[in-house]
Amino acid sequence: MTTAVSQEEQIATRIAALQTALLEGDCALDPAPGRVISNYYGQSVPADEPCGQLSFRLVSMAPNYQNPAGRVAMKPCAINWWDVAYEVKIVRCVPVVSDQGVAPSPDKIAAAADQIRNDMQQILSTLLAQNWIYAVGPWTPSIALGGGSGGSWTFTFRVDAAPC
């Protein structure tokens, strides 16, 4: 007899694997962010560490009632699987106007933009390498607040429905 794995366990396993890939894999973020928030539920993850924070947030979860090819009949309770949308977000330090009113140099602004662009590409490469992710949404830049800025990718994957 096999024991069904809950949706929560399936999601946690996949997000942990993605986190490991982003911190230790072939496309690891460099430098590694100083803070990682592995699982956040809410509208937006607060950027508590503007100089390096990686976060994962549940965006939505929807039941799927389709009867996919290869399945003889729908499962009890009619839900075959769940489509889970997640966000992975990176926040990095960006130069800001000093307390004395001095604007950052163009070189510092360009270096910060290069870091965020590199992060964007590293995260995308890592997402595309996961065979369980079936859709990746657009990169969404975040507004610069408190000396931190970055952006996020959304991605979608499926988890099996738990038996009723």
Number of domains in the chain: 1
At 164 the pLDDT is 64
Q: What is the mean pLDDT of the chain?
A: 87
Rounded distance, CA 26 to CA 48, Å?
27
At 1 the pLDDT is 42
Percent of the chain whose pLDDT exceeds 90: 61
Report the pLDDT averaged over residues 140-145: 87
The verdict on residue 92 lying in a domain is: yes
Q: Looking at the predicted structure, is the pLDDT value of residue 141 above 50?
A: yes
Report the pLDDT averaged over residues 150-162: 92
Query: Helix, strand, coil shares of the chain as percentages rounded to 5?
Result: 25, 30, 45
At 72 the pLDDT is 47
The verdict on residue 87 lying in a domain is: yes
Other beta carbons less than 10 A from residue 125's beta carbon = 14
The verdict on residue 89 lying in a domain is: yes
pTM over 0.75: yes
Rounded distance, CA 103 to CA 109, Å?
10
Q: Can you tell me whether residue 123 is helix, strand or coil?
A: helix
At 46 the pLDDT is 78
The verdict on residue 2 lying in a domain is: no
Q: Which domain holds residue 35?
A: 7-158
The verdict on residue 30 lying in a domain is: yes
The verdict on residue 1 lying in a domain is: no
Q: Looking at the predicted structure, is the pLDDT value of residue 75 above 80?
A: no
Q: Looking at the predicted structure, is the pLDDT value of residue 150 above 90?
A: yes
Looking only at the bridges linking them, the beta strands covering 148-160 and 81-93 are antiparallel
Q: What is the pLDDT of residues 86-130, one digit of tens each?
A: 999 999 999 989 899 999 999 999 999 999 999 999 999 999 999
Which parts of the chain fold into alpha helices (H)? 7-24, 106-128
Rounded distance, CA 79 to CA 155, Å?
21
Q: Can you tell me whether residue 61 is helix, strand or coil?
A: strand
CATH number of domain containing 141: 3.30.70
Tokens of 156: 């979608």
Rounded distance, CA 133 to CA 127, Å?
7
The verdict on residue 83 lying in a domain is: yes
Q: CB of 8 within 8 A of CB of 39? A: no
Of 12-16, 36-40, 135-139, the one with minimum mean pLDDT is 36-40
